[in-house]
Structure 1
Amino acid sequence: PFDPATRPLTPHEARVLATLMEKARTVPDSYPMSLNGLLTGCNQKTSREPVMALSDAEAQEALDSLKRLTLAFETSGNRTTRWEHNFQRGVGVPDQSAVLLGLLMLRGPQTAGELRINAERWHRFADISSVEAFLDELQERSTEKGGPLVVLLPRAPGAREPRWAHLLCGPVDASTIAPATGGGGGSGSGSSALQARVDALEAQVAALQATVQRLCAELGIADEMSPPGQA
């Protein structure tokens, strides 16, 4: 299986891989993904930490590297190359662990509670303790299997709970990680609900874009919804 201790992912590779993982679960109609759709997902302004602005070339370079690592592969679509991830098999983890790692790659360090809320559209965990059980398993992963894939960070000043970070891009320096935002009482739950609505709307837009692209490809006409230079 993939061993981040030997060959860690770059931030671009992690973003591309995690975006494929996310869209496979949240907008299955537009999966496998075209480079256009993938780029839009990678550069989203919400549900991403940090926000990135990958170019076509950078996304393609990351896909080519992931293919060599057997973490992604291409499938031919209607005149368009489409991409799928191979995370669970490539890394050797169960679905639930893959969900948590994907979320950590997309959104940065999170508490077990935040991971459970953010995972709603990927997989429904019964409770926080089930999330913690999979995180513990990932942290205690044996050397034979490639070693730990997550680490529990020291609790930040003023924070109620410690956050978890992934190790797919190599060791984590806790001092360089931005402090958690929000998190208070009522405001935290309100912002989570708002975020969930924004995510749902983004998923609907992505699905509509994929449908339009597919129809345009079948009809042989230009896709007016594609961003300039990405048609």
Structure 2
Amino acid sequence: MTHDFRTRPLSAAEARVLATLMEKARTVPDSYPLSLNSLHSGCNQKTAREPVMTLSEAEIGDALDVLRDYSMVIESSGSRVPRYEHNFPRAASVPDQSATLLGLLMLRGPQTAGELRINADRWYKFLDIASVEAFLEEMLDRAEEKGGPLVVKLPRAPGAREQRWAHLLCGPVDTSAPAASEVPSGDSALAMRVAALEASVATLQAQLADLNEQLGLSQPGQP
């Protein structure tokens, strides 16, 4: 029986697994669909993740079972090891642009429209912040017959210039929780360079994990 995430929200682990598959489909297409080993590395990477998580392969396997039941993940056959790919836009009935924003919110936590535009660069190139806001507002105003809102706009934090957005795939969000401190505007260029370097390192780690698996080699730090 296929379930619906609107009646049973995703767990934090399920959201991380789903969003990691969504990210790697865009950033490492040559290694996609992902093996369990590569997915494990992607879920637990230390960069471009908020919060950083430490999921076991068993926990990831359980999450994959639920996501398959929701038709959000498909297991590929015909290869030496099982591989997994997401089916999120079709399962959630959202366009690719909205799926990109939801994936980033699942991976990195609440963000402003400006932060989302920067972080989405390797997934989807939005024309401007206004186009990001348009898709966010569309998900905020999503009709109940279509499942209701998929995002929420958080109250403006003291001293912040922009409001942050959060996803609702894991259920209601505590809008009273304090927002993470924003990067000062004078450091925005540096922040973008650091984010780009972190993304490059994460891509290389995923490619290395996939290559090691194809060669039958153990991962660094594993016996």
Q: The TM-score by the shorter chain falls in which range?
A: over 0.9
2:219 aligned partner, one-letter code: M
Same amino acid, percent of matched pairs = 59
**Which whole-Å CA distance do the structure 2 matches of 1:227 and 1:77 have between them?**
29
Taking the aligned partners of 1:140 and 1:55, their CA distance within structure 2 comes to 37
Tell me the distance in 1 between the aligned counterparts of 2:150 and 2:83: 28
1:75–1:84 Cα contact (<8 Å) kept: yes
Judge which range, 85-94 or 194-203, deviates more: 194-203
Q: Please name the residue that 2:154 is paired with.
A: 153
Q: Which amino acid aligns with 1:128?
A: I
The yes-or-no answer on 1:58 pairing with 2:52 is no
Residue 77 of structure 1, CA deviation: 4.7
Q: Is the 8 A contact 1:3 1:146 kept in 2?
A: no
Give unpaired runs (5+ residues) of structure 1. Answer: 217-221
Shift in Å at residue 180 of structure 1? 2.2
RMSD: 1.7
Q: 1: distance between equivalents of 2:76 and 2:221?
A: 23
Which whole-Å deviations, capped at 9, do the CAs of 1:136-188 have from their partners, x for residues lacking one?
A: 11101111111110010110112111100000011111223x52234211213
How far the C-alpha of 1:212 sits from its partner, in A, is 3.6
List aligned pairs for 1:132-171, cutoff 5 A: 132-171=133-172
Aligned to 2:219: 225
Structure 2 partner of 1:219: none
Contact 1:32/1:84, CA 8 A, preserved across alignment: yes
With over 3 angstroms needed to count, the CA separation of the structure-2 counterparts of 1:84 and 1:107, relative to structure 1, is same
1:26-53 Cα offsets, whole Å, 9 max, x none, are 0011111111100110011111111100
1:33 paired to 2:34: yes
- Residue 227 of structure 1: CA displacement? 4.8
Q: Which sits farther off after the overlay, 41-50 or 204-213?
A: 204-213
Matches of 2:125 and 2:79 in 1, distance apart? Answer: 33
Report the alpha carbon displacement of residue 213 of structure 1 after superposing the two structures with TM.
2.3
Q: Residues 110 and 166 of structure 2 are in contact (CA less than 8 Å); yes or no, is this contact kept in structure 1?
A: yes
Q: Within 1, Cα distance between the matches of 2:164 and 2:78? A: 40
Give the TM-score of the pair, scaled to structure 1. 0.91
> Is the CA contact 1:4–1:170 (under 8 Å) kept in the aligned structure 2?
no
Separation of aligned partners in 1, 2:222 and 2:42: 16
Mapped to 2, the partners of 1:2 and 1:140 lie a distance apart of: 23
1:101 partner letter = L
Range with greater deviation from structure 2 (28-37 or 184-193):
184-193
